[in-house]
A and B are shown apart, each in its own frame.
Chain A
Amino acid sequence: MFDLLFNGFSVALSGTNLLLVVVGCFLGTVIGMLPGIGPINAIAILFPIVLQFDMPASSALIFFAGIFYGSQYGNSISSILLNVPGTSSAAVTCIDGHPLANQGRAGPALAMSAVASFVGGTISIFFLILFAPFLAKLAIDFGPAEYFVLMICAFTALTSFSQGSFIKAMFSALLGLAIATVGIDELSFGGTKRFTFGIRELDDGIDFIVVVIGVFAVGELLLFLSEKTNYAAEKIIPLDKVLLTFKELRESIAGILRSCVTGFFVGVLPGAGATIASFLAYNTEKKMAGDKGNFGKGDLRGVAAPESANNSSAVGSFIPLLVLGVPGSETTAVMLGALITLGVRPGPTMLVDSPDIFWGVTASMFIGNLVLIVLNLPLVRLLAKILQIPKWILMPLIAILSIVGVYVINGSEFDLLLMLIFGVVGFVMRKTGFPIAPLVLGLVLGGLIEVNFRRALTYSYGDFSTFYESPISITLWLITFSSLLAPVLFRFIRRYIDKRRLDQ
C-alpha cells in the first residue's frame, strides 16, 4: 500500500499536477466563500475548458477534487463574516461563527475554522486510504445486475434524503434518466435514434455538462434576479488577528476528532453528504457540552465541529465515486460525468488497472490541505476582501464564463440554446420545489443504468430474477428499502418524542 501511495505522490508532485492542486484549492476557497456559487458551478463551468487541454483524467480529477474540498474551507469565511453560508454545508457554522464575529472575535473563529478543516480534512484521507481498497475488494465481483441494483440504491438514498416531497425528488431523478435516453442508442444494432425528433444535433445525446451549466449557472442567475433586490457589496466585519490560543485549541480538539469520524462516514453514504454531516456533528457537540457550552451565542467549538465534519465528509464522498463508480451527491456526480467523458470508468477495477488516478488524487489531497491551511490562515485577510466584490460585476462575469464554456465544448449555438432551456427548467424546478441533485445524478448515471440493466438481462436471457439472486444484490435491496424507510422512521420518532415532551 505504501508503495502505491508513494507512486501517488510522484503523480501529485509532478509539475502540472502540483500547479493544478494549488489553483484548484485557491479557486475552491474563493468559490466556497462566495454565496450563491458552489463547487458544482465551478467544476461544471471549468470542465469544457479543461477538456480542451487533453489533460489526463488523473490531473483533471486532482483539479476538481481541489475545488471540491477547497470549497469546504472557504464556505465558513462568509458564514462567519456575513452570516450567509458560502455553501449549504457551512450553514451550521453561522450559528456560532457570526455571533463570535459580532463579539469582535472573527479572527479566532476563522482560525478555528481553518484548523478544524485542516485536521478533519487530513485525518479523513487516512480513512480513505484504509477503507477504499477494502471496499474495492468487496465490489470486485459486481456484475451488471449488482451494478444496476447499486445505482437504484444510490438514487433512493439521494431522493429520500433530499428536502421536501419524496415523490417530486423521485420524479426529478427519473427526468434525469429520461434526458439521458435522448440520442443514438449504442447498444442496439445499427443505432436507433431515440427522441431526437429529426434534430441532428441531438444524435449524440444531450451533453450532461450543458444541462448542468444550464440548471446551475443560468438557473441560479434567474433565481437571483427573482429574489434579491440588493446587489451591492456586503459589509464585512473588520478582522483582528487570525490566531488561536493553545487553550482554545485544546478545548475543541476532541470535538474536531469526533466530528471528523462522523463526517467521513456520513460522506460515504450516498445522498447524505456534507450538509447533513455538519448538522450531525454540531448537534453532537452541543449535546456533549450541555450547560457548560456557550453554543448558539458564539462558541468556538460550534465552529470547529461542522468545519471538521464537512471537510472529512467531502473526502469520504470520494469512496462511492472512485471505488464503486456511483456518486452520492451532485458535485461528485458531475465529477463522474467528467471522468466518463475523459474515458475513465471509475469502479473497483480502477484501483488496480489505473492506480495513478486513485492514489494520485489521494496524495494530492495531502498537498491540497497544506495549501489550504496556508490560504485560510495567514492569507485569510486578503481573501476576505473578495467578499467585497459587488454582485453586479460577479454575476454577469459568471454568466459570460459559463456561456463561453458551453460554446467551446462543440462550438455549437445549439448547445447554448439547450443551456438556456435547461436554465429555465432549473429555475422553474427550484421555484416549484423539485430538487435538482437527483436530476443531475439521473442524467450522469442514466446511460450506465440502462446499459447495466440491459446487459444483465442479456446474460440471464431475459430472466428478471438475476436482479435478486446474489447475496450482494439482496443486501443492496435491503439497504435501498431501509433508506426509503429511514426518513419516515425519523419523522415518526421525532413526533413521538415531541409528544412525550408536551405531555410532561
Chain B
Amino acid sequence: MKFLSDRKYAIAMLVFSMAYCYFSFSLEADFDPTKEKYFPFILSVAMIILSVLLFFLPSQHTTSWPKGRQWLKIGLLIGAIFFYCLFLSNVGFLISASLLMAVCMWEFGATRRWIVPVSVTVAISFYIIFDRILGLNLPAGILNF
C-alpha cells in the first residue's frame, strides 16, 4: 500500500471529525432530530465516513509544497498580519498599516526606494478615505490627531 498524500490528509480529516463528533456529542441536549445536538452529530458522522473513504480511495493528487525560502516568505507574511492584529488598537492604524504594507511590498519584490514612501502614502490615504470621508472608525492609536 503506497502512502499517497491523500492518505495523510484522510488521517488529519479523521482527527478533526472525531474531535467535532466528541464536542457535538457532549452538548447538553436531548438526542432528538429537532434539537441542537442532532445536526452537528450527523455532520460529524458523515465527515468520519468521508475520511475513512478517502483513506481507502485516495486520488492520485500530489502536493507540491513550497521550498525553504518560500516558507520563510509565507511565514513572514502570516507573522506580519498577526502583529498587525496585535498592534492595531494600541499603536493605531497608520503605523500598523504602513508596517504591514511595507512588509508586503518587500515580499512581493518591490524596488527598495519605493517601499517607504508608497506604504506611508497608502496608509495615510486609506485612513483619510475610510476614517475621515466614509466615517468608518479606524483606531488612531498613539498618533491621535
Chain B 73-113, CB within 8 Å of chain A: the 1/0 string? 11001100110111011000000010011001101111100
| Closest beta carbon of chain A to B36's beta carbon, Å | 4
The count of A-to-B residue pairs whose CB atoms sit within 8 angstroms is: 175
Contacts of A165 in B (CB 8 A): 6, 54, 58-59, 61
- Our pick among A411, A433, A457, A462 for the contact of B63 (Cβ within 8 Å) is A433
Contact of B50 among A174, A187, A399, A404 (CB under 8 A): A174
Q: Which parts of A207-263 form the interface with B (CB within 8 Å)? A: 218, 221-222, 224-227, 230-232
For B29, the chain A residues whose CB sits under 8 A away are 188, 192
Q: Annotate A156-186 by CB proximity to B: 1 below 8 A, 0 otherwise.
A: 0000000011011011001101100100010
Residues of B within 8 A of A411 (CB): 137
Task: Enumerate B1-37 residues with CB–CB distance to A below 8 Å.
Answer: 5-6, 9, 13, 20, 23-24, 27-29, 32-36
B36–A397 CB distance below 8 A: no
Measured between alpha carbons, how far is A450 from B64 in the docked complex, in Å?
A: 37
**B64 neighbours in A (Cβ, 8 Å):** 431
A404-B130, A433-B59 given; A396·B105 CB < 8 A: yes
Given contacts A397-B122, A407-B138, A433-B59, contact A181 B43 (CB under 8 A): yes
Report Cα–Cα, A372/B60, bound state, in Å: 43
Min CB gap B73→A, angstroms: 5
Chain A residues within an 8 Å CB radius of B6: 165, 168, 433
Asked if A52 is at the interface (CB within 8 A of a chain B CB), the reply is yes
Complex Cα distance, B118 from A438, in Å, reads 38
Q: Which of B104-135 contact A (CB under 8 A)?
A: 104-105, 107-111, 118-119, 122-123, 126, 130, 134-135
Q: Report if A25 contacts B (CB, 8 A).
A: no
Query: By the criterion of a CB under 8 Å from any partner CB, how many residues of chain B are at the interface?
Result: 67
Kindly state whether residue A129 has any CB partner on chain B within 8 Å: no
Q: How far is A192 from B137 in the complex, measured between Cα atoms in Å?
A: 32
- CB–CB A408/B9 < 8 A: no
Q: Are B138 and A393 in contact (CB under 8 A)?
A: no
**Residue in contact with A416 in the complex, picked from B47, B85, B111, CB distance below 8 Å:** B85
- In the assembly, what is the distance between CA of A416 and CA of B126, in Å? 17
Question: In the assembled complex, which residues on chain A have CB atoms less than 8 Å from the CB atom of B43?
Answer: 174, 177-178, 181
Interface centre among A174, A391, A411, A457 (most CB of B within 10 A): A174
In the assembled complex, B46 has its CB within 8 A of some CB on chain A:
yes
Q: Decide if B105 touches A393 in the complex (CB within 8 Å).
A: yes
Given contacts A171-B50, A174-B50, is CB(A222)–CB(B78) below 8 Å? yes
**Given A181-B40, A416-B84, A424-B78, A396:B27 Cβ within 8 A:** no
Q: Of the candidates A395, A401, A432, which one forms a contact with B5 in the assembled complex, judged by CB atoms under 8 Å apart? A: A432
From B9, B58, B109, B126, give the contact of A400 (CB < 8 A): B126
What residues make up the interface of B, taking CB atoms closer than 8 Å to A? 5-6, 9, 13, 20, 23-24, 27-29, 32-36, 38-40, 43-44, 46-47, 50-51, 53-54, 57-59, 61, 63-66, 70, 73-74, 77-78, 81-82, 84-86, 88-89, 97, 100-101, 104-105, 107-111, 118-119, 122-123, 126, 130, 134-138
7 new A-B contacts at CB < 8 Å, known A399-B100, A417-B82, A454-B38: A174-B43, A178-B20, A181-B40, A195-B40, A222-B74, A404-B126, A420-B81
